[in-house]
Amino acid sequence: MTVSRRSFLGAGIALPALLDPASAFPSAPPSEPAASQDSSFDPWVEIHRENLHHNVGEISRRVGSRPILAVIKNNGYGMGVSNVAQLLEARPEIAGFAVVKLHEAMSLRDAGIRKPILLLGPFDEKNLEDAVARGIMPMVYTPLGPAMDKIATKTQKPVPLHICVDTGIGRVGVPYFQAAPLIRDLAVRKSVQIQGTMMTFTEDVEFDKEQIRRFQETCAALEKDDVALGKKHAASSFSLFQHPEAFFDMVRPGMAIYGAYSENEFRHTGTMDLRPAVSLKARVIYVKRLRKGDSAGYNRAYMARDDVWVATLPVGHADGWPRVAAKGARVRINGALYPVIASVSASHCIVEIGKEQRVSIGDVATCFDWQDGSRPEDVSEACGASVYDLTMHLNPLLPRRVL
Ligand SMILES: Cc1ncc(COP(=O)(O)O)c(C=O)c1O
């Protein structure tokens, strides 16, 4: 009989409930609506409030109490953009928030966030008007002076903005050697209030030094002529470790706030004690013993060399648990770490438990959290997924629980 992937998966999930009433999943009768949107087995994201606050304190200490512009783009690095902003807003160290998508900036205002918001991403003239109306500052690097004049005429107020200078990353930003005329043009307009001037590092340690030189020279030439550049900022998490000379007037980290070291080697430098503030968890949905020679996963990616217990988790790459997790990541269940085996499919993965059946249906499985051995950096080291992939790719639809 040919079994399609879809029918095979359906049967695999339904069987334990049918055969073993004791292990049946709590479910509503088919004719009635489910009591809750998320079954208690489905993956969820936890946010560790205390760790988040601890990291802000660590960063502030590291940067000599300079203001922190918290980068909370990409759904707050997976934690929920409004969750993060609401948790951090009252901290005096946090000067404001930076996001890339206009809708994220808007949702922050909708959530009642009052601190300054910098929009790092693109906008058209209508977007710009809407953004300014909600107190969202654009990051500017093209000749937008006339557009600012129009808006300021309507609002009777200058438009606060930051200017982005490209010192070598080649992504966005006015090239540093063409920056002066653009900045002068904006600075002389009554419609514009330059609140900040920024650049982004390539994070190539040697070239970064050249980028610092280019930025400083560009800024110094303008400041000599009394052009007010606002707060100068450049330092992301990488630079918090590598370039204290580039802390300037404000720093602009993301990942460090969420407690993961952006490079694994930073973990052992003692520069900052970062504590992960985000966790991905799910509950075991199925436990079974494979016989020697049995396979698991698509393409029979895993072959049992002996009889072995395995557990199935309802978390896969569509939830943000990367496919490469099957190349060495370990999941914590009841305090012990078990390797992810076979392949990570869209909504499932399988872990190898060993000779004994040490886990049960319903046990909590932690893909990553704040404990040594299951920190995002541990998963990253084990399977090659970057900590950015682990956090930023968490499906926005997963429930978020703030602890
Ligand atoms: C312009 C800019 N600044 C700062 C950051 C923060 O970077 P990180 O999360 O490495 O601290 C980012 C994120 O990629 C960024 O795009």
| Tens-digit pLDDT profile for residues 324-376 | 999 999 999 999 999 999 999 999 999 999 999 999 999 999 999 999 999 99
The mean pLDDT of 314-319, rounded to a whole number, is 98
Closest ligand 1 atom, residue 238 Cα: 10
CA 327/CA 331 separation, integer angstroms: 12
pTM: 0.90
Q: What is the pLDDT of residue 36?
A: 55
Q: Is the pLDDT of residue 169 over 90?
A: yes
Residue 138 alpha carbon to ligand 1 centre in Å: 16
Q: Can you list the pairs that 355-358 forms with residues at least 24 positions away whose Cβ atoms lie under 8 Å?
A: 355/306, 355/307, 355/308, 355/309, 356/309, 357/287, 357/289, 357/309, 358/309, 358/333, 358/334
pLDDT digits (tens, 9 = 90+) for 1-22: 332 322 323 333 333 333 333 3
- C-alpha distances in angstroms, 229 versus 86, 133, 175, 235? 29, 23, 16, 17
Taking CA atoms only, the protein residue closest to ligand 1 atom 5 is: 236
Write out residues with Cβ below 6 Å of ligand 1. 71, 120, 200, 236-238, 252-256, 262
Kindly give the pairing relationship between strand 400-402 and strand 295-296: unpaired
What is the per-residue burial (b if ≥16 Cβ within 10 Å, else e) of 84-108? bbbbbbebebbbbbbbbbbebbbbb
Closest atom, ligand 1, to C-alpha of 198: 1
Largest CA distance in the chain: 81
Pocket test for ligand 1, best of 63, 71, 84, 393 (most atoms within 8 A of CB): 71
- Round the CA-based radius of gyration of the chain to a whole number and report it: 25
Residue 378 CA to residue 310 CA, distance in Å, equals 22
Per-residue pLDDT band for 220 (boundaries 50, 70, 90) equals very high
